[in-house]
């Protein structure tokens, strides 16, 4: 159904973002209006009681890996998991698929691979790599939403790191088109004397110190100021970069930043030696650093929260040896971003309006979906997440809908159970029933 009225005592209202009794009227897959609680619409009425009804989550950072490494993940499994987590839009990163999304031809191959498989709406980031500057404008014309670059080796040969000269060639092109440049911000440099044992988490943590991130952020602030290209720092881990980001924003430099559920949840002190499921890059840092990241969100130095879902086959995690040096760096958690973040927010006395802002409204605007996604305003897509923030559950492998069940969140007790997910008014997930056919469509940028 795409015409209905859904009511709750906790609807996230447009404008204020506060939960209140209300009825959301949906016609033709769009939000028609938000009416008073109990309003008669003449449509099929769905009453979800005290469950929260909020705009669908928009996750702008996921590695879906198809085509080429579909055994790691894939559009069908990733979007099915996302829908089960209340996510209604996902933007796919240009790696670790083969080919990487660094040419127009590769973009077309990825769009072909995704068509007809996705349970939710989706879009694509392209990549900036050495030598592909001529591909950028054609990809923008074809609907790419923006571009990502690495300042350090990415871990896959088909996506080499970009140096400053490569960025200087690409950034004016992106600035003229008005699309963002997303940056994996680590500049390799000297490290502290690392412990010899690669099974120790301390060894891995020391191998990628905060200074690598801080220097990379400082470089990108300088380039954003010089080129007027919008720069976005992905998966910020080092809280030491917050002061530079805050000062740059105050000076009007076009730079933004995100962080991820794993950096807001786990701490280096709690990661057991050999527990390679926790390995990601940049690494999970100490408890004090985590709390500074939360403060960065609260004071809006950090703009929003996204999953950085980066799965692989279990074999690549070196689980048997527990070798952090050899294990693939990436955390799978797309399906559980909402409860993971809400559990930590709940413990800190934070509010549903902040959650909506950090995981729906701001991410939608960043991806260029202003006016379409991220809030319950008239004319927006009827992307709706229905969930119970007060219900607790223990995350077990049997609940995981990603291609592989390996995740460091397994065994964790969380708050927040997703009950229903609607994409453009059509049911994409229902905890009480099977949902048949994928209906996600590709979202395109400027053309």
Kindly report the CATH number assigned to the domain that includes residue 237: 3.20.20.140
pLDDT category of residue 447 using cuts at 50, 70 and 90: very low
- Percent of the chain surpassing pLDDT 90: 93
Helices 164-177 and 133-141: crossing angle in degrees, nearest 10, is 20
Q: Rounded to an integer, what distance in angstroms lies between the CA atom of residue 37 and that of residue 10? A: 10
Q: How many other β-carbons are positioned within 10 Å of the β-carbon of residue 146?
A: 26
Q: What are the φ and ψ backbone dihedral angles of 334, each rounded to 5 degrees?
A: -50, -45
Residue 73 lies in a domain: yes
pLDDT at 361 (0 to 100): 98
Sequential DSSP letters for 109-152: HHHHHHTTT-SSEEEE-EE--TT-HHHHHHHHHTT---EEEESS
- Strand ranges (E), 28-69: 30-36, 44-47, 52-55, 57-62
Residue 371 lies in a domain: no
Residue 126 near residue 101 (C-beta atoms within 8 A): yes
300 to 117, 246, 282, 345, 377: CA distances (angstroms): 36, 9, 21, 15, 23
Residue-averaged pLDDT of the chain:
96
Q: Rounded to an integer, what distance in angstroms lies between the CA atom of residue 37 and that of residue 47? A: 10
Full residue range of the structural domain in which residue 94 is found: 56-366
84-130, pLDDT tens digit by residue? 999 999 999 999 999 999 999 999 999 999 999 999 999 999 999 99
pLDDT at 437 (0 to 100): 67
Q: Which residue is it, tokens 């923030």? A: 389
Which helix (H) or strand (E) segment holds residue 11: the answer is: strand 4-12
Helices 242-250 and 210-227: crossing angle in degrees, nearest 10, is 10
Residue 445 lies in a domain: no
Average pLDDT over residues 220-239: 98
Provide the residue count of the chain: 447
Q: Based on the structure, what is the number of domains in the chain? A: 1
Supply 425's token pair.
């008014």
**Res. 190: pLDDT tops 80:** no
Residue 197 lies in a domain: yes
pLDDT at 194 (0 to 100): 54
Q: Rounded to an integer, what distance in angstroms lies between the CA atom of residue 177 and that of residue 444? A: 14
**Res. 192: pLDDT tops 90:** no
**Res. 47: pLDDT tops 50:** yes
pLDDT at 432 (0 to 100): 77
Residue 163 lies in a domain: yes
Give the SS3 label for residue 263: helix
Residue 334 lies in a domain: yes
Stated pTM of the model: 0.97
Give the SS3 label for residue 288: helix
pLDDT category of residue 193 using cuts at 50, 70 and 90: low
Residue 233 lies in a domain: yes
pLDDT at 435 (0 to 100): 78
347-403, pLDDT tens digit by residue? 999 999 999 999 999 999 999 999 999 999 999 999 999 999 999 999 999 999 999
Supply 320's token pair.
């048997």
Residue 10 lies in a domain: no
pLDDT at 196 (0 to 100): 78
């Amino acid at each position: 159904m795409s015409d209905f009225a859904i009511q709750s005592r906790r609807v996230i209202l447009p404008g204020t973002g506060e939960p209140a009794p209300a009825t959301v009227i949906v016609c033709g897959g769009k939000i028609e209006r938000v009416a008073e609680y109990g309003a008669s619409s003449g449509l099929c009425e769905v009453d979800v009681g005290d469950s929260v009804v909020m705009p669908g989550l928009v996750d702008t950072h996921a590695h879906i890996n198809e085509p080429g490494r579909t055994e790691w993940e894939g559009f069908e499994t990733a979007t099915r998991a996302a829908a089960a987590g209340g996510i209604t839009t996902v933007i796919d990163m240009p790696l670790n698929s083969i080919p990487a999304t660094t040419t127009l031809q590769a973009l077309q191959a990825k769009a072909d691979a995704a068509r007809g498989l996705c349970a939710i709406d989706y879009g694509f980031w392209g990549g900036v790599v050495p030598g592909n500057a001529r591909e950028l404008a054609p990809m923008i014309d074809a609907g790419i939403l923006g571009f990502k670059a690495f300042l350090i080796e990415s871990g896959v040969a088909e996506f080499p790191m970009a140096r400053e000269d490569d960025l200087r060639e690409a950034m004016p092109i992106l600035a003229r088109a008005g699309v963002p440049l997303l940056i994996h911000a680590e500049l390799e440099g000297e490290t502290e004397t690392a412990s010899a044992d690669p099974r120790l988490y301390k060894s891995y943590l020391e191998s990628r110190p905060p200074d690598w991130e801080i220097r990379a952020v400082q470089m990108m602030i300088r380039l954003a100021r010089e080129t007027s290209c919008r720069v976005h720092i992905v998966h910020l881990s080092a809280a030491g970069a917050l002061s530079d980001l805050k000062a740059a924003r105050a000076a009007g430099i076009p730079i933004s930043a995100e962080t991820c559920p794993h950096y807001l949840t786990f701490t280096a002190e709690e990661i057991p030696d050999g527990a390679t499921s926790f390995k990601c890059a940049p690494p999970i840092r100490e408890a004090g650093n985590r709390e500074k990241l939360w403060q960065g969100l609260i004071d809006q130095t950090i703009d929003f929260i996204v999953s950085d879902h980066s799965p692989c086959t279990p074999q690549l995690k070196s689980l048997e040896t527990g070798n952090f040096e050899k294990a693939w760096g990436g955390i799978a958690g797309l399906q559980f971003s909402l409860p993971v973040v809400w559990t930590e927010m709940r413990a800190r006395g934070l509010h549903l309006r902040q959650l909506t802002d950090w995981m729906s409204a701001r991410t939608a605007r960043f991806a260029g979906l202003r006016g379409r996604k991220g809030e319950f305003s008239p004319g927006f897509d009827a992307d709706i997440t229905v969930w119970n923030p007060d219900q607790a559950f223990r995350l077990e492998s049997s609940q995981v809908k990603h291609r592989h069940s390996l995740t460091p969140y397994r065994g964790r007790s969380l708050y927040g159970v997703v009950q229903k997910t609607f994409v453009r008014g059509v049911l994409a997930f229902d905890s009480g029933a099977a949902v048949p056919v994928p209906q996600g469509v590709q979202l395109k940028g400027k053309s």
